Structure 1
Amino acid sequence: MRKFVLTALMAAVAMPAVAIPTVASAQSQREVRESRRDLREERRELRQAQRFGDRRDVRREARDVRQAQRELRRDVNDRNRRWARNDWRDYRNGNRALYARGNWRAPFRYNQFRAGTRIAPTYYGQRYWINDPWRYRLPPVARNQRWVRHYNDVILVDYRRGRVVDVIRGFYW
């Protein structure tokens, strides 16, 4: 009965994603960990069915393990997807709460940075780093670069040299 209820809930959650293929959900590290945990649980249930169940139970549990493996693979691939420069625009319109991070103020004045300028380390300190750029659909960074929040803008900084590589203005609401 528990399996039936879980399957029905998963189908209800997955239906909107199937109906609207253009909307992709961001997979966080937490969701990938949950998928791994579900896979371990399904494997444990398969071992129990192999010990104490009949062939029908074993087939059902093996199918559940394969489904959990596919879901984990899909979650990991989605999390590791390489986003392009402007992929965040359409996603932001559908997920306003993710980009509305409150009234953010820094201990320094707002400056409109341009690509190629050199900035002081106080502007791109570790406390301003965006640690999960894939969540916001930002493109991946090269070596020694980080996405940094500067008020409502997002700046790509080469943190070894202090150079601004890219600026996205008005990123946050």
Structure 2
Amino acid sequence: MKKFVTAAVAATLALGSVGMASAAEAQSRGDRYEQRQDRREWRQERREDRREWRQDRREDRREARQQQRAYARWQQAQRRYHAPRYYAPSGYQVRSWSYGQQMPYAYRTQRYVINDYGRYGLERPPHGYQYVRSGNDVVLAAVAGGLISAVIAGLFN
């Protein structure tokens, strides 16, 4: 009888430890499931953030294009203004510029930049652009690279 009781107690202990092991295993499975869920949520949030960032960039580019279109690429001046005699930069001649060309740095020095654009009936240039005089014309060019975005022909006598 002692052997039977001892065997029964041993079996009970063995089943109990298996039961605890399976409970611990179930607990660790639950933890893994929660970790997986957390990673999924984090990825989803990151994806949404990237989408919002791309959308913002798209809107910024759209606004920039609309600002550029606000300036007609080539226009004839409605009125002519008197200005001091024009001297081309050393090594250059007076020439006609057009949209998309790049002005050399010699033209974009302070001597040729028009800072009092209101006096000549010009709108304020967009950020990063400036008006440059070239002969009797005025050119709207990028400050950094000199890329021409508009030409106003015959503004000066």
TM-score by length of structure 2 reads 0.47
TM-score by length of structure 1 reads 0.43
Higher strand residue share: 2
| Structure with greater Cα Rg | 2
Structure scoring higher RCO (CA < 8 A, sep ≥ 6) equals: 2
